[in-house]
Structure 1
Amino acid sequence: MAVSGATGAQGGAAARALLQLGRPVRALTRDPATPAAAELRALGAEVVRADFDDEASLTAALAGTGALFAMSTPFGSDLSAEIRQGTALLDAAVAVGVGHIVFTSAANADRSTGIPHFESKWRIERHLATLDVTWTVIGPGVFMENYANGWTMESLRDGVFALPMPPGRPLPLIAARDIGAFAALALNCPAEFGGRRIDIASQWRTSEQIAAAIGAASGREIRHREVPLTVAESYSGDLAAMFRYFQETGLDVDIDGLRRDHPEVGWHTLEKWATDRAWDL
C-alpha cells in the first residue's frame, strides 16, 4: 500500500498503522534522506521519492501498489498548487492501476464552508469522484497536534491557551494517530468503505477544557483567552475564515456513531493525547 505525505503527521500515522497490521507499506516522500524517512524504513516501510510536480516520479512510486492513502496540503505552497498536486497524485494512481484510494480531506469540506483550504480539498474530492477507481474520503476534525505547534506553544509558555473561540463552544478534536488508524481500516476494507465520505473526530472539547488538559499534563496552570478574529485575520485570511465558520456554523461530526461502529480505531481522548506528550513549558 502506498502512503503519500508519509513523513508528515497524517501520512506517518497511516503508514505506522498499516505496518502494525502487517501490511506492506511504500512510503512516498520528497526527501527519502530525512530522519522521519529513516524511522519509517526502520519500521519496515519501503521509502521512495515522489514529487507531486513530477509525473514520472509519481508513476514510478505508485507502480505495483494496490491502494493509496492520498493527502494534500496548501501549507508550504498555495491553494492552486494544492489542487494541482492533489489531482496529479490521484491521476497517477489511477493510471498505474491502483484499486482503492483513501483521500484525507477536512470535516464538512463538502458543505460550502467558504474556508479556502477546505474548498481546495473539496475540489480534489470532486475530481476523485470522477475517476474510475474505488474511493473513500475521510474528513478529520481539528487536529490535537495543532495545540503543540510553535504559535500555540509561545502562548502556553506564558500560561495562556489563546484561541479565536468563545468560552463554552466545543470543537470536534482528533489525534493524528486516530486519523492513521481510521485510514488503515478503510484501506483494508474497500468493500465496506468504498464510495463513502466520512467525517471523523474522537471527542468534543471546549477551549477551557483544552487549556485544562494541557495544564494537567504539563504541570502548569493554563487559562483560555479568546483571541479576536481580527487577530487571526492579521495572520491569515484563511485562518480567520476557518474560525469564523467554527463560531457561526460549527463543524458537525457524529462522534458517538464513530465510537460505536469503529471501536478498533482506539479514539484517543484529548487528555490521553496531552498526557502522552512531553510539554516543554
Structure 2
Amino acid sequence: MTQITESPLPVAVTGATGAQGGATARALLRAGRPVRALTRNPGSPAAAELAALGAEVVRADFDDPASLVAALDGAGALFAMSTPFGTDLDAEVRQGIALLDAARAAATVRHVVYASAANADRSTGIPHFDSKHRIERHLAGLGLPWTVLGPAAFMENYANDWTLKSLREGVFHLPMPPGVPLPVIAADTIGAFAAHVLARPGAYAGRRIDIASQWRTGEQIAAAIGAASGRPIRFEEVSLSVAAGYSEDLATMFRYFREPGLTIDTGALHAEHPDIDWQPLETWAAGRSWDL
C-alpha cells in the first residue's frame, strides 16, 4: 500500500468555486486535509459554502501576481487548473504560468498537481488542449515536484444550458457518430483522484496520468439521462459544422475525439487505483435533479 504523506500545511486550491477545484477542495476537507481556497471573489456564495465546510478562503487573481504569491505563502501544496473560457488561450497560458511561478516563489510549496486534459501532451492540435500542454511544459521545468492529471470528457457538460435545451425536446445532441464511445468522468471523481494524489506526493511526483471512469456512446449517455430524468431521450448526432458555429476550438476537439480519438486504458487505470470511486455515468445522472 502506498504510504500517505500528511502535511500540517494547507493545500491551496485554484478554481475552488468551480466544478473541478470545488470537488477537489471538498474531497480534501472530507479527508481532514486543511484547504486554502483561492478565488477572485471571496464574498461569493460558492466561497461562503467552502468556508462553512472549513476551508480558508483567500483572494487571488491570476492577473495579479502579487496576490498569487501572498495566497500561496504558507501553503504546502497546490492544486492548479487553468481555463481559456472567459478569457482566451494566450491569457490562459499567461495566467497559468504566473500561478506556477508564484508556487515556485513560495518557500513552503512542495508539490503541484495540475489539472490539464486527456491527451493534451500528444500534439492534438486542439487549441485549448495545446495551451494546457504549454503550461505543463513550464511546470516540468520549475524544479518542483509535480503531477499532471488529464481528465477525459466531463459528465457535467451533459447538463449545461445548451444540452438542457435539447434534452427538454427529448434529444441528446453530440458531435459524435452513433456507437462511437468517449471516455467520461465526473468532477467529483477528478476531485477524489486529485486528493488521493496530494496525499501521496512521493508516489506520484513526475507522473502524468489521464483519467476516466468509463467509455460511453451517445446512445448510452442519452439512455442514462432518460432513466434519471424519467423522460424518453434519444441520441442524435450533430455535424461538426454545428460545433464550429459555437467555436472552431470545439469543432477541432470533436474532430480529434472522432479520429484518432482519446486513448485511456480504464481497466489498467482502475486496477492501479482501486480505492477511487470511479463513479459511472449512470450514477452521476441519477444523482442530479434534471429540470426537463
Report the TM range for the smaller structure's normalisation. Answer: over 0.9
| Partner Cα distance (1:181, 1:263) in 2 | 12
Please show how residues 1-281 of structure 1 align to structure 2 within 5 Å: 1-97=11-107, 98-281=109-292
Amino acid aligned to 1:216: A
Structure 1 residue 104, shift from structure 2 partner: 0.3
Opposite residue 75 of structure 1, the aligned amino acid is: F
Tell me the distance in 1 between the aligned counterparts of 2:213 and 2:56: 30
Q: Counterpart of 2:159 in structure 1: which amino acid? A: A
Q: CA deviation at 1:263?
A: 2.0
Shift of 1:254: 1.6
How far apart are the structure 2 equivalents of 1:181 and 1:255? 16
Distance 1:93 1:199 in 2: 23
Distance 1:144 1:80 in 2: 27
Whole-Å Cα distance in 2 between the matches of residues 203 and 55 of structure 1? 38
List gaps (5 residues or longer) in structure 1: none
Letter in 1 for 2:88: D
- Once the two structures are TM-superposed, the CA of residue 224 in structure 1 deviates from its matched residue by 0.5
TM-score, length-scaled by structure 2: 0.96
After TM superposition, which residue ranges in structure 1, 4 or more long, deviate above 6 angstroms? none
The residue matched to 2:275 in structure 1 has which SS? helix
Q: Structure 1 residue 149: deviation in Å?
A: 0.3
Matched-pair identity in %: 72
| TM-score of the two chains, using structure 1 as the length reference | 0.99
C-alpha separation between the residues in 2 aligned to 1:46 and 1:234?
41
Pairs aligned (count):
281
SS in 2 for 1:6: coil
Give 3-state SS (helix, strand or coil) of 1:263's partner: coil
SS at match of 2:113: strand
Q: The residue matched to 1:89 in structure 2 has which SS?
A: helix
Structure 2 letter corresponding to 1:238 = D
1:258 shift after superposition: 1.8
**One-letter amino acid of the counterpart of residue 72, structure 1:** S
TM-superposed deviation, 1:156? 0.3
What letter corresponds to residue 64 of structure 1 in structure 2?
G
Deviations along 1:19-62, whole A, 9 cap, x unmatched? 01000000000101111101100000000000001011101100
C-alpha separation between the residues in 1 aligned to 2:253 and 2:262? 10
Which residue of 1 is the match for residue 3 of structure 2? none
1:2-29 per-position Cα deviation (integer Å, ceiling 9, x unaligned): 0001000000000000001000000000
Distance 2:231 2:273 in 1: 34
Corresponding residue SS for 1:265: coil
Q: CA deviation at 1:129?
A: 0.4
Q: Which runs of 5+ in 2 are unaligned?
A: 1-10
Task: Measure, in 2, the Cα distance between the counterparts of 1:179 and 1:78.
Answer: 24
Q: Which amino acid aligns with 2:57?
A: V
Q: Give 1:264 shift.
A: 1.8
Q: State the AA in 1 paired with 2:135.
A: I
Give the RMSD, CA atoms, in angstroms.
0.5
- The code of the aligned residue for 1:23 comes to R
- Deviation (angstroms), 1:140: 0.1
